[in-house]
Structure 1
């Protein structure tokens, strides 16, 4: 047993957690069916649009204390989950080595599955990011809404697909969220940082690494299955449709964030967008982007 796991189990004993909560059982675990997930995403979209319409002729709400609590909770929660995943991955790596710790079926451990479930549920809680924007009457953008809705879907698909390299993508995302939500927390309290530009760069690097890992895993799987004479290390376990979906969605993220970065930081002074913290960026036509 490792230190962080010991601490977690001292707070919540494993035996007290029902099986469908500590392991992912499709159709039994919460939010584990397509109808439920689709309904929740649709509810998110409709709720945001109706709330924005409701706030149209009303004054914006400050919500500073609640907003800061929301962000420090997500930053801290992301850090704890990152540390738990890291210690489990190190344990697996020490037993099976680098390649198998990414691609072997044994790298999808019970503990990692539980951590993936927690990360998946985090994505629903992060819907509140959009609610805060609407209640504070900040502009919404396609990037923000699409990213929140589709990331829930991505986490759901990856859980069902049991992709062995999932810990790499989840870990990098958690690291970004530790920094990003801290930034939101601090700037909401009046702090000023010179490095907000590099948060977007960090996210772009995140998607590049994610795509490299996904395409590497796909290559290993397809070559092992269909063209075994070609050079490869071995199979990479997980659902093919889940891996293809992940590649397609992460590619769209990369394109959207690169476009945002170029329009925000690489334009001429006269046409450069105006930024209001890392979270909202108001461009000349009144559109803003939320980066996650």
Structure 2
């Protein structure tokens, strides 16, 4: 065992990844059902809330965000440590192409936990609807497509999954911690929110880079298990996220900053 390898916890050691992968291969299309129910709940919820006063829900939101923050932090530490070990001992190509992330020690549990977590994470939107906040296209589009792609890809144990999941764990660890602090009433600098969006944009760029590497190595006949259809869908997803997050960054931070500055000068 490498000196950089992480010590396994008992629940990680006992996790049966073969059974998990088999279940996902048989049931991954249920993600479409979850997505349809999610969309229906959004439409129905917003219709109902038109006639009602908004709910405060501060304490439930703090608890919800703290739970997801803790899950993401732990997931980021475990998968990040595993990926760092692979990078430093076996190199970049192995970290991208090796399927050991799905069935290796430590990471196998967190890979499955990651894809399953995309279903309960849909609950984020419930707070937006019940609190009558602005629901932007990026929010619900991102939730649906991540759920669909994660379940679709896990069943095939595609190359690049370790990078995709670890990056998402890292970003969510920061993002949900920020949400929890905000919901608890702490005043957080606007620059921290900007930093989170920039990390999300960076994540999308890295996702496209990983897809390019997988495709290039596949074309060269090297062992990098994926298929073109998956790479196409993944690349389209990451590119769309990149455009939408850049648009959000510009509208939320650049345009508003200029508008506020103009008002102050009047």
Q: TM exceeds 0.5?
A: yes
Matches within 5 A, 1:145-160: 145-160=140-155
1:255 equivalenced with 2:243 (yes/no): yes
Judge conservation of contact 2:95–2:162 (CA < 8 Å) in 1: no
1:241 equivalenced with 2:229 (yes/no): yes
Cα distance, 1:87 vs. partner?
A: 3.2
Q: Distance in 2 between matches of 1:95 and 1:269?
A: 45
Matches within 5 A, 1:1-292: 5-6=8-9, 9=10, 12=11, 14-15=13-14, 23-25=20-22, 28-29=23-24, 32-34=27-29, 36-93=30-87, 96-106=90-100, 108-111=102-105, 112-194=107-189, 195-222=192-219, 224-225=220-221, 234-267=222-255, 271=259
Deviates more, 1:111-120 or 1:212-221: 111-120
Residue by residue, what CA displacement relative to the aligned partner does 1:124-156 show, whole Å, maximum 9, x if unpaired? 111111001111111212111111111101211
Cα distance, 1:216 vs. partner?
A: 1.6
TM-aligned CA distance change 1:269 to 1:84, over 3 Å: closer
For structure 2, list consecutive stretches of 5 or more residues without a partner in the other structure.
261-266
TM-aligned CA distance change 1:31 to 1:69, over 3 Å: farther
Judge conservation of contact 2:159–2:226 (CA < 8 Å) in 1: yes
Cα distance, 1:188 vs. partner?
A: 1.0
Aligned length: 254
Judge conservation of contact 1:108–1:164 (CA < 8 Å) in 2: no
Quick check: which one's helix share is greater? 2
For structure 1, list consecutive stretches of 5 or more residues without a partner in the other structure.
226-233, 273-292
What TM-score results when the alignment is normalised by the length of structure 1? 0.79
TM-aligned CA distance change 1:51 to 1:170, over 3 Å: same
Q: Distance in 2 between matches of 1:13 and 1:50?
A: 39
Judge conservation of contact 1:24–1:113 (CA < 8 Å) in 2: no
SS at match of 1:218: helix
Residue by residue, what CA displacement relative to the aligned partner does 1:179-211 show, whole Å, maximum 9, x if unpaired? 111111101111112221221111111111111
Q: Distance in 1 between matches of 2:225 and 2:154?
A: 13
Q: Distance in 1 between matches of 2:256 and 2:176?
A: 29
User: Which residue of structure 2 lines up, in the alignment, with residue 287 of structure 1?
Assistant: none
What TM-score results when the alignment is normalised by the length of structure 2? 0.86
Q: Distance in 2 between matches of 1:104 and 1:180?
A: 29
TM-aligned CA distance change 1:93 to 1:118, over 3 Å: same
